[in-house]
Amino acid sequence: MNIIDELTWRGAVNQVSDEEGLRKLTEEKSVSLYCGVDPTGDSMHIGHLIPFMMLKRFQLAGHHPYIVIGGGTGVIGDPSGRKTERQLQTIEAIHDNADKLKAQFIHLFGEDSNITIVNNYDWLSKLDLLGFLRDYGKLFSVNVMLAKEVVASRLEAGISFTEFTYQILQSIDFEHLFAHNDIQLQIGGADQWGNITAGIDMIRKIHGSEAQAYCLTIPLMLKSDGTKFGKTAGGAIWLDPEKTSPFEFYQFWLNQDDADVIKYLKYFTFLNQEEINDLEQTVQTEPEKRIAQRRLAEEVTTFVHGKKALREAQNITIALYQGSIANLTEHELEQAFGKMPTVTVGPEEKDVVNWLIDSTIYTSKRQAREDITNGAVTINGIKITSLDEVVTPHKNSNGRFVIVRKGKKKYTLARVQN
């Protein structure tokens, strides 16, 4: 299957500047293409991941992807999708974020694979004002720039000259990569259409009207209820395991709605058409088993965090579902309970009733005794039945944690302070 046909089947094509020409080009040779990301933060979230999954598909089809980290454009700030001016960051913060994003991409794509990572600060920082205005400013019509949706949507509220020029800088990126790296295709989100086509126009003005440069954008990802994909009550789902643990990441995919899961399998996994069709059948015939959701969670967690992190996420899920956390490791305990209600306790060993009162997990000794007697309290995965039980840290926590469960689902993490 041609890569354009595959992307179309996966629902991953929004607009193409010249579909017939791009299809022919990708069939004739290995094409170099790129997608960019500005280092305005120190991690990507799963919304950022979508176009880079497309890069990965091109890579697997034998093409040569480039990732452009916007160390230069990030200093300016892309106005796309924003109603107000972006708060500018320091150059030092941008460079630090760029290093962290590069490490994420190396992890996702592999250091020795057929992919190149570059930073547009390397060429944009060498521009001088007069050269910028003479060599590039003359190629852009203000009338055309004002008509671009990304600018037009900001005119009422106002847009600075700094953000207004962003599309010129992005166009310079495309022309530079076209001229120096033989890159003929740029891909991006649906909101990048105006910026990318501006780059194609610049390339043809500089290199001639027959220059083969193409644009492919990806649809805005929405859930079946029309809301934005990738956010939860707790905020964005990050790729950085310190921001979103692999367990939380796994749970996000595991809890997707039946109406969305097949779309996400097409977007976010490398399963083939036959496999996804089979999973679609299970959604229709055995929805209660959530086979498709489980496969989605396994595939995406492995891609982003690796097989070891997937096993840990699955161990935690099984332990919580079965109510048996006694054998979880220290790292698994941190992932499972790190964001649950937390108290701090001292290292002194006490009988369970006094410990529960002193930790503030209970405020009534009578209620604590009653719940223990009724078997409603477990500590570190073990049901407490004796009022004389002495509380000690979880056996695998290196003395750091006590995990208390009241009833079936109400957990509290007690951090032991030495």
Annotated binding site for L-tyrosine, which residues? 34, 166, 170
Half-sphere exposure of 144 (CA within 13 A, CB side): 14
Q: What strands lie across the sheet with 183-189, from one edge to the other? A: 15-16, 214-218, 183-189, 32-37, 64-69, 116-119
Half-sphere exposure of 12 (CA within 13 A, CB side): 25
Which residues define the annotated binding site?
34, 166, 170, 231
Which residues define the annotated binding site for ATP?
231
Nearest to 168 by CA among 137, 127, 142: 137
Residue 343 bridge partners (DSSP) = 414
Cβ atoms within 10 A of the Cβ of 239, count?
Answer: 21
What is the C-alpha to C-alpha distance for residues 140 and 81, in angstroms, rounded to an integer? 22
